[in-house]
Amino acid sequence: MRTVRTAAIAAITISTLALAACSSGDPDSESSDTPTTATASSSEPTAAAGGLGTEVTVVTHDSFAVPDDVLAAFEEDSGLKVTFVAPGDGGTLVNQLILTKDAPLGDVVFGVDNTFASRAIDEDVFADYASSAPAAAQAAQYAVPDSAALTAIDFSDVCLNVDNSWFEANDVAVPAALDDLLKPEYKGLLSVTNPATSSPGLAFLLATISAEGDGWQDYWTALNDNDLRVTSSWSDTYYTDFSAPNYGGDYPIVLSYASSPPYEAGEDGTTPTSALLDTCFRQVEYAGVLNGAKNPAAGQAVVDWMLSDDFQASIPENMYVYPVSTSVAIPASWEESAPLATTPWTLTPAEITANRDDWIQQWTDIVTP
């Protein structure tokens, strides 16, 4: 999901992917054979319930972030030691989940989004779970149709972001819409991510398909001819390519989120970047317990924790996305500097499921032959 997000998981021990894959088949598990539902409260997210064991492994994308104190409180309340495995961006995450489904990388996953969710569900990666945590009712509105495998945790709009100072300094008008990007004055100014490996990249591809309809292939051909840059991950596009003051790259238009600009605010509160709200696609990020998990009960407890008030309240200022809970406060500055799109581009889950792989292949043939 995400939303400028931190590039690394601060102060959290990250297990290597290889070690996680090797250890996933270890029969020495302390979990209960029968998963139990842990009910969360706002003050004690997953207070220790029988059968949770002592360890849980969370598989996530490489932009996940949670404050140390929120994590420590969960570990104390639940009695669990949490280890995180981060194989890559959202698209890479789903690919790895599918490749390792017979020897899962952990117990629970965070960060599968609505553009890739049906692929993982169709591959039977997740076990069904219905949380009774505080924000479960709000999360239900984002549920994947006809599935109980994933629980919504946050949402935001994937949008193009611009470096306002670059446009001012170069006396170039800020583009307003997708079609503007085809104009010669924006040649060589745009960096986006690959939809085959990046969930924001796929979200942006879906936005263009929604906007351009049957002509989307011609749109991407023209965009590519206008010296488009493509990276493998959101962090490469944002942290390396963006010309915004904090990064100093060469591209004043990059793919990120509508809620990214507050992350760039200076001491005076002004934001040097802004999101182009006519380019947005609504993204939802989910958590789910893995089929074949060593400790499924602990995986369920993590889902409950992520719906608790403590975790939900930490989301905006750590992952720069919107929590699904309506009972936690959103930073006041977001109303002005991180508004959601009023009419984001959308496609139905059925359309995405039926066409996603073909659309990605067509995009690949056009942009990276």
Q: How far apart (Å, rounded) are the C-alpha atoms in residues 181 and 190?
A: 8
Query: pLDDT tens digits for 292-346?
Result: 999 999 999 999 999 999 999 999 999 989 999 999 999 888 888 889 999 999 9
CB 242 within 8 A of CB 163: yes
* Average pLDDT taken over every residue of the chain: 87
Q: Enumerate residues 6+ apart whose C-beta is below 8 A from 27.
A: none
Bridge partners of 161, per DSSP, are: 254, 275
Helix 349-367 and helix 216-225, axial crossing angle in degrees, nearest 10: 40
If 0-12 CB within 10 Å is exposed, 13-18 middle and 19+ buried, where does residue 159 land? buried
- Chain-centroid distance of CA 315 in Å reads 12
In this model, does residue 13 exceed pLDDT 50? no
Confidence of residue 186 (pLDDT cuts 50, 70, 90): very high
Query: pLDDT tens digits for 140-184?
Result: 999 999 999 999 999 999 999 999 999 999 999 999 999 999 999
* CATH topology classification for 14-155+283-323: D-Maltodextrin-Binding Protein; domain 2 (3.40.190)
Q: How far apart (Å, rounded) are the C-alpha atoms in residues 185 and 162?
A: 14
For Cα atoms 266, 267, 271, give the angle at the middle one, nearest 5 degrees.
Answer: 25
Superfamily for domain range 157-282+340-367: Periplasmic binding protein-like II (3.40.190.10)
Q: How many C-beta atoms surround the C-beta of residue 89 within 10 A?
A: 26
Closest CA to 149 of 196, 198, 114, 105: 114
Beta-sheet strands, E only, within 164-208: 190-193
Confidence of residue 50 (pLDDT cuts 50, 70, 90): low
Confidence of residue 89 (pLDDT cuts 50, 70, 90): confident
Please determine whether the domains at 14-155+283-323 and 157-282+340-367 fall in the same fold group of CATH: yes
CB 132 within 8 A of CB 39: yes
Q: How many C-beta atoms surround the C-beta of residue 183 within 10 A?
A: 11
- The pLDDT of 35-63, averaged and rounded, is 64
Domain ranges of the chain: 14-155+283-323, 157-282+340-367
Q: Enumerate residues 6+ apart whose C-beta is below 8 A from 213.
A: none
- Cα distances (Å, whole numbers) of residue 16 to 106, 129, 199, 276, 333: 12, 27, 22, 37, 37
One-letter amino acid identity for 54? T
